[in-house]
Structure 1
Amino acid sequence: MNNKQMSTYKLTLLALLAALAVVGRSAFAFLPNVQPVTSLVIICGLLLGPVAAILLALLTTFLSNMLLGMGIWTIWQVVSWALIGLISGLIGKYPRRVPIYVIVLFAVFSGYLYGFIISLTAYSISGSFLPYYLSGLIFDTNHAIGNGIFIILLYPMISYFFTKYAKNRFSLQNTN
């Protein structure tokens, strides 16, 4: 399979993940900080690579914020999810399969990392970081727990379908 077909295949998977993330974020909007976006960015990074995960972060943030509202936080959401996607993409580059419990722990950690970076919004506007960050820890905990649950539910299913359709013709995380 040539690189153009690989690119088309990866773009199709990326579009599916973006649609799932936007719908999931909208569907779970009633639960504070519980949504599948972070988990899907992690899954994308692990299976498709860091560039695809960064693109997913960008697409998902802008598309979902068109529905939920744009603001200065949009920039920090892109930065947060892109960083998480980059890290997960680098983890996915290891030739050995990463155990699910490690992925779940990374997803939980990512909930707190996301919250920390989002808290920089308050610093960039008001100059005070610590009060905003501390008051948001309960929401970061919701995010972290949600990430762990979404990874447990989504990772086995998505990785199964991605590898099933990729077969042995090419590596999902070929070159980015």
Structure 2
Amino acid sequence: MKTKKITLLAVLMALCVVGRLVFVYIPNVQPVSAIIIISSFFMGPVFGIILATGSAILTNLFLGTGIWTVFQILAWAFIGIVSGLLGKAFPNMKIIVIAIFGALFGYLYGLIVSLNILVVTDYFWAYYLAGLPFDTYHAIGNVAFILLLYPFLKKLLLDYKKQNYD
């Protein structure tokens, strides 16, 4: 991997960390998922996996780590893979469609992260259903952050690709 790509990943991870820390007091509303969705859409699934893993580990150094970190990595990596594949299959997808996927990914993220409760207890469905309001906050936050960050990140990532792949 080239230094410029590592630098781009580092900047995006830093944006995820700062964004998550700034919004820590609003439950499940943070820009990490949106940044992973948009970045993976333009840069591909492998980029999304790396961004997801680094962002989860780095943010949890500040917010606390545990078994849920593994499930956050799995959830965000899966979202990065799907977003990257969507970007390859439908490169001209409209922002509103990406935002709708962002809302769906908010619920998918909640489902995957809730699986960590199976390590501790058998009350998965009670835990998951109690968390649905927070998944809704995440879904709404994803839509808002995608609509807000998409123009900026699209320009950044397309400029990077133009300078480094042409």
- In the superposition, the TM-score normalised over structure 1's length comes to 0.89
Secondary structure of the residue that 2:93 maps to in structure 1? Answer: coil
* Of 123, 133, 142, the match for 2:128: 133
State the alpha-carbon separation in 2 of the partners of residues 93 and 12 from structure 1: 23
RMSD of aligned alpha carbons: 1.5
Which of 49, 53, 58 aligns to 1:54? It is 49
Identity of aligned residues (%): 48
Q: Deviations over 1:70-114 (max 9, x none)?
A: 111101000000000000011111264111111001100000000
**Separation (CA, whole Å) in 2 of partners of 1:98 and 1:155:** 12
> Comparing both structures, which one devotes a greater share of its residues to helix?
2
Question: Structure 1: which amino acid aligns with 2:104?
Answer: F
Question: 1:2-51 CA deviation, whole Å, 9 max, x = no partner?
Answer: xx6xx333222111110000000011000000000001111111111111
1:26 to 21, 28, 31: 21
When structure 1 is superposed on structure 2, of 56-65 and 156-165 the one drifting more is 156-165
Letter in 2 for 1:141: T
Amino acid at match of 2:142: N
Identify the range of structure 1 (95-104 vs 29-38) with the bigger mean alpha-carbon deviation.
95-104
For residues 97 and 90 of structure 2, the distance between their equivalents in structure 1, rounded to whole angstroms, comes to: 15
Preserved contact between residue 43 and residue 157 of structure 2 (Cα < 8 Å): no
User: In the alignment, which residue of structure 1 is the partner of 2:83?
Assistant: 88
Larger radius of gyration: 1
Moved more, 9-18 or 106-115: 9-18
**Partner of residue 109, structure 2:** 114
TM-score by length of 2: 0.94
1:169: how far off?
5.7
- Given residue 34 of structure 1, which amino acid in structure 2 is its aligned partner? V
Q: Which moved more, 1:33-42 or 1:120-129?
A: 120-129
**Counterpart in 1 of 2:62?**
67
The alignment partner of 1:127 has SS state of coil
* Maintained 8 Å contact 1:21/1:36: yes
CA–CA distance in structure 2, aligned partners of residues 169 and 21 of structure 1 = 23
